[in-house]
Amino acid sequence: MPSSSSNKALRLWQAAIFAGFLLFWHAATSPTLLPPIYFDDPNKAAFFFGEPLKVFERTWDWFSSGSIYPHLWVTLLETLLAFVIGTALGLGMGLWLALAPTASALLDPYIKALNSMPRVILAPIFAVWFGLDIASKVALGVTLVFFIVFFNVYQGVREVSFTVVANARILGASERQLLRHVYVPSAMSWVFASLHNSVGLAFVGAVVGEYLGSSRGVGYLILQAEGTFDINAVFAGILVLTAFALLLDWGVTLAERRLLVWQPRGGETEKI
């Protein structure tokens, strides 16, 4: 396992890269620090790419005044509902079809067809079906999350060693015990691998739905800012969404470490 000193060095390098990016962004969009390179007018760079200090200032104003909290709550609620419902459906369907070969063969072309569909185009249909409130955004997010979790669970169960299953049956394990002690643990690592991607896609579903029609949400704030050509507010909204997506991903990582504590870390199997 990496030492604490190497972890600290890694964090320092990551912070340095982030600081370097901010410095480059500030210099490239400041009309006084760099001569015009791409634009003939130095002020155009700030108009098109924003200014990091003003982006952080706008973000601070949102949180200090409390104006963003109702919008942030709506977006987070839509994201969490889409994430939980899509994960539960993907987990259930993946386990069922992986353990039911006949049903899997029967539904295989339909699942592949639905997965190949650009699901963002379903957003207007969901808006008609469920209205412009939270339900339509959750429905879009569920379609984005479901297939990632489903295919990972399906593959994880199918990868279970036949020898392990046969030995468990010889020892008298019932189908329920096989599901609990063999199939589900085997699929868990695949599930958590998919959840890291699912968090971001749940946010995508919420924000895209808010773009198409909403009166609340961070996506709505970004859309309003685009309508007034306020590029700093657009980047501030993107910054807020990115930060909370990282927080949710960190939560998934903590749950993964807690639930997969039995799984050997890299290199531990070679030491046995």
Q: Are residues 106 and 131 in the same domain?
A: yes
Q: Are residues 75 and 197 in the same domain?
A: yes
Q: Could you tell me the pLDDT band of residue 270, with boundaries at 50, 70 and 90?
A: very low
Q: Are residues 99 and 29 in the same domain?
A: no
Contact 235, 241 (CB under 8 A): no
Location of structure tokens 């392990």: 164
Q: Look up the domain containing 34 and give its range.
A: 1-49
Q: How many CB atoms lie within 10 A of CB 141?
A: 30
Residue 128 maps to a domain: yes
Q: Are residues 138 and 180 in the same domain?
A: yes
* Predicted pLDDT of residue 272: 44
Q: Are residues 107 and 220 in the same domain?
A: yes
Count: domains in the chain = 2
User: What is this structure's pTM?
Assistant: 0.76
Q: Are residues 108 and 197 in the same domain?
A: yes
* Predicted pLDDT of residue 39: 54
Per-residue pLDDT reduced to its tens digit, 32-88:
665 555 555 656 666 677 778 888 888 898 888 888 888 888 888 888 899 889 988
State which of 10, 27, 49 marks the end of a domain.
49
Compare 192 and 259 and report the one with higher pLDDT: 192
Per-residue pLDDT reduced to its tens digit, 224-252:
887 788 888 888 888 888 888 888 888 87
How far apart (Å, rounded) are the C-alpha atoms in residues 60 and 206? 23
Q: Are residues 143 and 214 in the same domain?
A: yes
Q: Are residues 42 and 67 in the same domain?
A: no
